Amino acid sequence: MRFVSKWLFRLVVLVAIVALAIVIGAAVNARSRIPDLKPWHQLVPSGEVHASDVGPTFTLDDYLAREQRVFDEVRTRIENQLTPEERLYANRYDRQGLASPSRLGRDWNRTFEMAAAAPVCAALLVHGLTDSPYSMRAIAERLHADGCHVLAPRMPGHGAVPGGLTDASWQDWDAVVHLGIRHLRARVGPEVPLTIVGYSNGGALAVKYALDAIEDPVLPRADRLVLISPMIGVSPLAGMARLVGALGVVPYFEKTKWLDVLPEYNPFKFNSFPTHAAVQTAVFTRTLQRQIDRLAADGRIARMPPALTFQSLVDATVDAYAVVTRFYARLPRNGSELVVFDINRLARLDAFMRPSDRELLNRLMQRSERNFRLTVMTNLDHASLTVVARSGDPGSPDVTETETDLAWPSDTFSLSHIALPFPPNDPVYGRSPDESLGPIVRLGLLSPRGERAVLVAPMDVLMRVSSNPFFSYLEEKTRTWVERR
C-alpha cells in the first residue's frame, strides 16, 4: 500500500506540473498573440445590472435606467476620448464612422419593446453571447406586424463594450429573462399565448426558464419555445479557459483574460471574446444539463412546453448533435419539432469537410423512437441547388417531401452559427442589404480575396456566412408557432 501511495502521489505531482506548464505556456502565448488591449476591452461599466439587483420589485423601467447609465458611461469614457488613430470609419466607437450604431436613429444594441394595443400573442426575444437585441430585429418586426407584443432585452454585459463580458455571469442573463417574462405577462394578461424565442446562448436561457417554471409553479409559464442554434452543448475546452484566465489578475498576463482581441468593426456584435465569457458558457451548459437530467429522471420534463428548433448541421460555435442527444431525446411527445439545415450537397466540397460533419445527418435520421418531428432542409438531389423539406413524424418511419421556392447560393457550402436569424436583405449582414437603417457598414457583402496574413481580422471571420438564404422559411414557421392558440 505504501508503494502504491508513493506512486499515486508522484503521478498527481506530475499531472499538476504538466497542467501548470500548459497554463503558463498558454499565458505566455497570449502575451505575444493577443494585440494590445483598447479602452473598450478594459472598461467594465459600473451601471451594469447583476442578478442580485433583480428582485421581485425590480421593473423593466429600473433595468432601462441602469442600461442608460451603461451607454452614457461608454459615450463619456470611450467615444468622447478616442485618440486620432482610433477614429476609423470601421470602429464602432467612432460616432462619425459607418460602423457606429450611435449615429443611427435607433441603437439596436439596447433593449427594445414593441407593444400591441390588443395583442394576439407575446414573445420574449433573447439574443446570443457577444450579440445584441439587433439579432432579434427581423423576427420582432414580423411578429409585431401580426399583432404580437414583443420584448427583446439586452443581456447584461452586451451591446456596449466587450469589457462588460469580463464581469457578466449566466445568472445575470437568467435574471433578466425572468424579469422580461414577468413584465410581458403583466402587460398582456394571463390568456395571451407567450413564447420565448432564443438565439444561441439565448436559446439555452429560454430552455432554462422553461425548466425553472416547472420547478417553481409561481413563475409564469411560457406556452412555447423557439430555439435558433441553441447553446445546449459547447466544446469541453471552454471550461479549461478558466485556468488560463485566472492568471489575468497578474498585470504581466493581463491578456489571458481574452481568447480573441479583434478590431470592433461590427456595430451589433463584439468581435473580441473574453475568457470569462467562455467559462460562463461551460458552467451554464453543465448547469442546464443537470437540470434537464433531474427533471427527466423524476418525470417532470413531461410538463416542458413544445419547442421548435432551427439548427445548422454544421456549427462551429455550439454542438449541433447535443441539441438532439441532450435535449430533444429527453422531451415528451408534445408536438416539438427540430428543423436541420443540411450542407449544400452540390457544393462539391465534401472532400474538404470533416467526415463527422458529413455523416452527422445520417446519425440524426437513424435515431429510433423519436418523440419529435424532424425536418431536414436539403438539396432536392445531388445535381440541384433547389431545397426541399423532408419531414418525419414521431414514431413513424415515413418521410414526406415538401417543395419550397428556396435554393442554395451557388458559392455557399453551408450555413454558419451567426447566419440563422438574419434575412438576406438585412442592412448589415445580408448579401442583398436594404437601406432601412440608412448608411451603415455592409458586412454581408464582404468576400475578401487576396494575400494571406495581411488583414487585421482573420480571413475566416470575414468570410463566414452572415445571413440565412432560408430565413423566409424560418420566419414563417416561427410566426405560425408563436401565434398558435
297 vs 11: CA distance, rounded Å: 37
Q: What percent of the chain has pLDDT over 70?
A: 83
CA dist list (Å): 3 to 8, 9, 15, 17: 9, 10, 19, 21
Structural domains in the chain plus CATH codes: 34-483 (3.40.50.1820)
Q: What is the reported pLDDT for 252?
A: 47
485 vs 475: CA distance, rounded Å: 18
Query: pLDDT per residue over 386-411, tens digit each?
Result: 999 999 888 787 889 999 999 999 88
Q: Residue 228: pLDDT above 50?
A: yes
Cβ partners under 8 Å of residue 56, min gap 6: none
Q: What is the reported pLDDT for 102?
A: 85
Helices (H), 78-148: 137-145
Supply the mean pLDDT for the chain. 88
Q: What is the reported pLDDT for 240?
A: 54
407 three-state secondary structure = strand
Query: 57-66, 239-248, 311-320: which has the highest mean pLDDT?
Result: 57-66
Helices (H), 235-316: 237-245, 275-297
Q: What percent of the chain has pLDDT over 90?
A: 68
pTM of the model: 0.90
